[in-house]
Homo-oligomer: A and B are copies of this chain.
Amino acid sequence: MRLPAPNYHPPFNITRASHAVWSVRDLDASEAFYTQVLGLVVTARENGRLYLRGLEEVCHHSMVLTRRGGAASCDRIGLRVFSEDDLDKAHSFFTGRGLPCAFAEIPHQGRTLHVSDPLGTAMELCAAMPLAERKLTRFHEHLGGCAQRFDHYQLLLPDLETAGEFYTAIGFRLSEYMVDASERLMALFVQRKGNPHDIAMMLGPGPRIHHAAYTTVDVHTLIRACDVAGSLGYGRSVERGPQRHGPGHALFVYFRDPDGHRVELFNTHYLTLDIEHQPARWDPSNMDRNLPWGLPAQRSWYEEATVFAGVAVREPAFKPNPVTLERYLAERS
């Protein structure tokens, strides 16, 4: 296995992971869940769309929920580029690579470029959004998990070598990765904004989106998200956690929203801006290091994810076989 080499002079300047656009069946149910349990704020609700943002976000939205029947899917996952110029440079780059690439008019966003990565992941890039109020210090309005801001998203992808080459080509830096005993890539964590995550990628049938992740203030707001979930009848939406991740070291909880989309709330990162930082290597078989508090996740966490609307899912050449909670419990008894 050869790790992708960093590219410090990317063709355009992506600044961060920024938003998810998801289909839901019932906007009322979704609004209740996201505002009361996770603590997101509604910026607008119009034309069958609900626009949500975190408490510290001044951009118009970091989550867009679109009312649509049928199975839940993800329309696009969003990345921010720094300036309008970067959109044009991105257009050249994607065109040059023969990858899908087209400008689109999207409400409440600046000029927006629809693109796909080589594995079919549907993304959109924009450089600006209308401003909204920063709610960070309107403490009396903070609810549930007090989600602060969209931090990263995780993909399931069938080919991490291709993904690694592509994302480093567009400037992402590798912060952590997982390889198995046969030196096969099992996970890649790449970043643009200087903390360990903008995109996490796990080997698996895909492209699918495993989760979107919001930061929260504190251990206490993580617990409060669970407590409010419990007291409002969403207890079974707590899929995993609170627990500590090995890779990335975050303290986390994973929720499933009313349509099954997965959202992570987490606290604590580290900064990874310096050039001398070396990506951290993880071994999928070292459960004590990967799962510092012992228990793995249930099978659904490893297997279920949201498809991209209209994008075929492809199996990886090599099928990972994680130690799920079911398997762990069965093997111990």
Contacts and interface: CB of A to CB of B under 8 A. Distances in A.
A140 B288 contact: no
A318 interface: no
Contacts of A244: 137, 223, 226-227, 230
Contacts of A217: 268
Contact of A16 (B221, B226, B273): B273
A13 to B, nearest CB: 10
A291 B234 CA distance: 11
A331 to B, nearest CB: 12
Contacts of A294: 235-239
B231 A138 contact: yes
Interface residues of A, number: 73
A227 to B, nearest CB: 4
Contacts of A219: 218-220, 223
A99 interface: no
A58 interface: yes
A278 interface: yes
A154 to B, nearest CB: 19
A93 to B, nearest CB: 20
A184 B326 CA distance: 31
Given A236-B294, A271-B149, A293-B229, A59 B276 contact: yes
A2 interface: no
A230 B139 contact: yes
A149 B270 contact: yes
A140 B249 contact: no
Contacts of A82: 8, 273, 275
B127 A235 contact: no
Contact of A136 (B36, B270, B273): B270
A111 interface: no
A271 B80 CA distance: 13
Contacts of A30: none
A293 B235 contact: yes
Interface in A1-36: 8, 15-16, 36
Given A129-B276, A220-B218, A8 B83 contact: yes
29 contacts: A15-B273, A59-B276, A80-B274, A82-B273, A127-B275, A129-B274, A134-B270, A137-B244, A139-B227, A139-B230, A140-B144, A193-B273, A223-B244, A226-B244, A227-B292, A229-B292, A230-B292, A233-B288, A235-B288, A235-B292, A236-B288, A237-B294, A239-B294, A299-B329, A325-B325, A325-B329, A326-B329, A326-B330, A329-B329
Given A140-B231, A299-B333, 10 more contacts: A82-B273, A131-B276, A137-B249, A149-B271, A194-B194, A218-B267, A219-B220, A226-B293, A235-B291, A325-B325
